[in-house]
A and B are shown apart, each in its own frame.
Chain A
Amino acid sequence: EAGVAQSPRYKIIEKRQSVAFWCNPISGHATLYWYQQILGQGPKLLIQFQNNGVVDDSQLPKDRFSAERLKGVDSTLKIQPAKLEDSAVYLCASSLESRDTDTQYFGPGTRLTVL
């Protein structure tokens, strides 16, 4: 079974530039998550999709971050414009549903450096 795919793996941009990350979840998984992981901290949930609808985006900085999940499969996360503090690893995860016993499967992440 193929895992969660993410691209690119690494990205370096200057502040105020825009960047986009792509995620392809495990086939058949209805729930997709984007996390931000700053160095030395645990991942923080940014947004959760159930199929192509948003379930939770309470921690997404909506003035600069946006995400979409077209057709309930692939997803993109965009930052525009980027700030220095956005330097982090962006992780995508997916699960069959969203319940207290579901396993989340994580991709390898995209490491973003903002200069």
Chain B
Amino acid sequence: EIVLTQSPGTLSLSPGERATLSCRASQSVRSSYLAWYQQKHGQAPRLLIYGASSRATGIPERFSGSGSGTDFTLTISRLEPEDFAVYHCQQYGSSFTFGPGTKVDIK
């Protein structure tokens, strides 16, 4: 089973700042089958990025994904108030696993 590790656990930033979230896999993720989801309190997850770097429909350009192999990054170029949430990575190249999540909260 591929284990995903996300860092940091919590990221405290101010609106307008840049957020960089990391997702590391215990083994290479096949074909960069790596997705990122945003989840706000009490809500279902929302797909942001798939295939490591493709934005899902309706996702603002300030969200971008990069990486391959075992190291992946989600970048939010300038945080908006609605971006403070928990972010989960998921690999779907070998069965399915999620990372533990990174919480982005207001500094």
Chains A and B are bound partners: no
